[in-house]
A = this chain, B = another copy of it.
């Protein structure tokens, strides 16, 4: 791979699903993992990206952090550019401290497997639910740090926790504006990682549901970036340095996990997503057919369209017309919640997209997590309302755009 060349990945082919061997066996994934995980794992395994857990320990420098568990987000091999050369000698750590999660991006080095003496610099990704756990991890893994080193950071917590980071790690703190780092990270990933973005096609089968959407650097702009964290920011992006936060919403990941916590026993975001997969929202939501007795043809509203989210819960416990006791399970509630929030994000994204005549909407943030229900809902909403004029695009490193941007921002150091 030459200097400055993008990280190339093989596009998944139809043949990858042709084997008669059961999916779980081929992939060596324990059965208890959900189907959504398995499909996406297959996607990752068919990518040319090397996984950090596939690198033998001997090839990782002992002074660098050693990954002790399988990462959930694939690392990236940084292109051989002059700006990344210092990373061969020295690690760099960058944080995006949000309202719910702390996202960490840091460099490690490994010797090349190919015919070259130059070691490769890897970008690694890890998330934490508290700043304390994250700082402990950094303290235990950033061995070569000294008082002149800089920890790069962004996100709301980069203001709030600046002093804590400085005193706990004994390094300088450099802050990057949140929107600037989002765009910087998004720009880098789209231009350098050809299998970064993909579309989701629910009607397709297996791996075909996911279609990589590589884009050449000169066609990246303009686009709409919908970043779904605790809340949502909608950015109209015209170039890496020209962008505007055109809107936002308080109904994002925070609302999903917050309401999910009040309504179910789920102990985490991922557990809540698993619950949603098993639920039937029709026991919570009022559908068009519940009101009209079928579809509403005058308005082209199909019978199974959700007319009112949680509409049936207002009469929970009351007997329905047939005398059955209506009862929605926690799974049903989680499914309704996920659909309500996803539909709403999709519609809002579409409206902002139309307002600025955008063709592509990229979704960032830690809400989607490659979850089929969410991607289907967002894709459907955008396709339906825009009549196919706009495309919903998802990103492999969706949750780390800001952290990558902070990592790249070396203007002051």
Q: Which residues of A contact B (CB under 8 A)?
A: 98-100, 155-157, 159-160, 177-179, 229-231, 245, 247, 249-255, 257-263, 284-286, 288, 290-294, 296, 298-299, 306-314, 316, 333, 340, 343-344, 347-348, 351-352, 354-355, 385
Contact = CB atoms under 8 A, between A and B. Distances in A.
Contacts of A155: 291
Nearest to A285: B250
Do most interface residues of chain A lie in helix, strand or loop, or is the interface mixed?
Answer: helix
A286 B351 contact: no
Contacts of A333: 262
Contact of A254 (B98, B160, B249, B314): B314
A256 to B, nearest CB: 9
25 contacts: A99-B290, A156-B307, A159-B292, A160-B292, A160-B293, A177-B298, A179-B299, A230-B286, A231-B286, A231-B306, A231-B309, A245-B299, A249-B347, A250-B309, A250-B340, A251-B344, A254-B286, A254-B310, A255-B309, A255-B340, A258-B310, A258-B311, A259-B310, A347-B348, A351-B351
B310 A156 contact: no
State the number of copies, please: 2
Contact of A296 (B156, B249, B260, B306): B156
Contacts of A354: 355
Contacts of A288: 156
A99 B344 contact: no
